[in-house]
Structure 1
C-alpha cells in the first residue's frame, strides 16, 4: 500500500496529535507522508482532491461531504476556544455589517460563524491569519477575525474585542464549538478508513501518555511562539473531544451543518458524515 498523504498545520495542537503517526510510534499503522500547511491551504488542497487525509475546517468539510468522511479522533471542538472579532477602535457587534473585516480564509469555520452571526457582513478580505492583527492595528481593515494563538496576544497590539463568536455560538446553541476535524477520502474504502481512524486515536493517546516526547517536534514548528502561549494553545484545543467527539460533539457538528444549509452557505448532503 502506498503511503497515505496526510495534511496538517504546524500549530501546536496538530503537531501534538500527529507526532505518533508520522514518527512511526503506532504499531500496525499505515505509512504516512506528511504535508504541513496552514489551514486555508489544507482546505484548498482537499477541495482539489490533493490529500488522502487532512486536518480541515468544519466549514470546508461542509462543501466536501460527497468525497470525504470525518474521522472520530483528532478534532478541535470545545468551549471557550472560538474565534474573536477584534478592532483598532471600540466597535459594537451590530456595527460589523458596515465594516471591512479581515478573515483567515473563506472556508475557515471562523468565517462560517461570522456569516451565521450576521449574514449582512459582506466586506471581507482574506489575509494569512498571522497578518490580521497587524492589518487591523494599522487601519488597513476596520476589524479582524482572529484564530489560534492570536486570541491570547491581541491585547499586546492595543486591539479591542468586538465579539467572541465562540461565546455567541455556545449561547445560541448550547453546543461546543466545532472548529476543525480530520477527514479521509471516501474512496480509500471502509477497511482502510477504519485502520486510519484507529491509528489516529492511538496517536492522540501516545501524545497524552508521552508529552515530553512530542515537545521538541511541537517547538520545531512553532519557532517564534512563546513557550507559555504554545502550552495554552495545546490546553485550549486538545481536550476530551480530541480523542472522540462523543454524542455531544456529533450533535454540535450536525447543528452547525444544519444552520449552514438553511443559510445556503453549504450544499445539502444525505451521506453519513462518518464511514466507520
Structure 2
C-alpha cells in the first residue's frame, strides 16, 4: 500500500523550485505520495514544534528546539555565501540602541543572529511580506528583509547591516551562513525516512538539471512571486548544486551556529549536527 508523506514547505521561490520536480512527476517517488503543504517559514517553525507534519522546511536556527522529535535531512538546504537577509532602514533614519525592528519570526535563523548582535533592539514580528512597508511608513525603525525581498526594495531604504556580516563577526571567516533546511519526524520508520530523504535528494538534483524548464513552468503556472532574471538570480543564491546535499563545510557552519546558540543561552548544550542526521549506514547494511 502506498504511503502518503506530508511535505510542508514555504511558498518562496527556492522551496517551490526544490520540491516541484517531485510535484511535476519528474522523480521516481518509489510508490510514495507526497502531499505538498505551503506555509510561511515561521508558521512551519511553530508547527514543527508541535510535530504537525511528516517532513517540514524549518529555519536552521530553531532546530535544537525540535531535535528529539525531528531528524535533519541532508537536502533542500539554503545557505548564504557573502549574502543573506538584510537589516534595512529609511535613509533619513538614524538608529538608536533600542530601535524598534520588524523581524519575520521569533524562530527564524536571521532573528536568532539579529537578537544576539542587537540585544537592546525591540523586535516585533510580522509576515515578511509586510516588513518593507512597515519600515517605509515609519511603523518600525528598521526591518530584516528575507527571501526574494532582499533583491528589490523601496528606493527610500538602505541597508544598515547585512546578516552575513553579523554571521562573520560572530562565527568567524570561511563558513557559509546557515539559513534553512528540512526536518523529518522521528516517528516515521527508519527505512521510510531513508527513502524519503533519497527521493528529496533526487528532486533537488533533477530541479537543478532542468532549471530552465522548471523555471518556465513555475512562472507559467504562477507558482512564484518573481520572474525572469530576478528568479534566476535568487535561485542561484539559494537553490543550486550546493542545496542538493549537506557538505562538510556546511555541517561545520551548522555546528558553529549551534555553538553560538549555546553560548548565548538559547539551549542547554551545543549539538553536533551529524549526530542528528538520518543514519546512512542502516541502508548500507540492509543492502549487504
**TM-score (structure 1 length as normaliser):** 0.91
Once the two structures are superposed, what CA deviation does each residue of 1:223-244 show, in whole Å capped at 9, x if it has no partner?
Answer: 4x24222222111102333012
Q: Secondary structure in 2 aligned to 1:181?
A: strand
Q: Contact 1:15/1:217 (CA < 8 Å) preserved in 2?
A: no
Once the two structures are superposed, what CA deviation does each residue of 1:188-220 show, in whole Å capped at 9, x if it has no partner?
Answer: 132111111111110011111212332245322
Q: Which runs of 5+ in 1 are unaligned?
A: none
Q: Contact 1:79/1:170 (CA < 8 Å) preserved in 2?
A: no
Greater Cα shift, 172-181 or 205-214: 205-214
Aligned to 1:189: 189
Q: Contact 1:62/1:267 (CA < 8 Å) preserved in 2?
A: no
Q: Secondary structure in 2 aligned to 1:27?
A: coil
Q: Secondary structure in 1 aligned to 2:213?
A: helix
Cα distance in 2 for partners of 1:252, 1:101 equals 26
Pairs within 5 Å for 1:6-155: 6-29=7-30, 30-89=32-91, 95=95, 97-121=97-121, 123-154=122-153
Q: Contact 1:90/1:162 (CA < 8 Å) preserved in 2?
A: no
Structure-2 change in CA distance of 1:171 and 1:270 (3 Å): closer
Count of residue correspondences: 271
Aligned to 1:212: 212
Cα distance in 2 for partners of 1:39, 1:262 equals 25
Cα distance in 1 for partners of 2:66, 2:96 equals 29
Higher relative contact order (CA 8 A, sep 6+): 1
Structure-2 change in CA distance of 1:231 and 1:222 (3 Å): same
Superposed CA RMSD in Å reads: 1.9
Q: Secondary structure in 2 aligned to 1:221?
A: coil
Cα distance in 2 for partners of 1:237, 1:39 equals 15
Shift of 1:20: 2.0
Deviating 4+ runs (over 4 angstroms): none
Structure-2 change in CA distance of 1:21 and 1:226 (3 Å): closer
Shift of 1:102: 0.3
Cα distance in 2 for partners of 1:268, 1:51 equals 26
Between structure 1 and structure 2, the one with the greater Rg is: 2
Q: Which runs of 5+ in 2 are unaligned?
A: 280-288
Q: Secondary structure in 1 aligned to 2:179?
A: strand
Cα distance in 2 for partners of 1:171, 1:264 equals 18
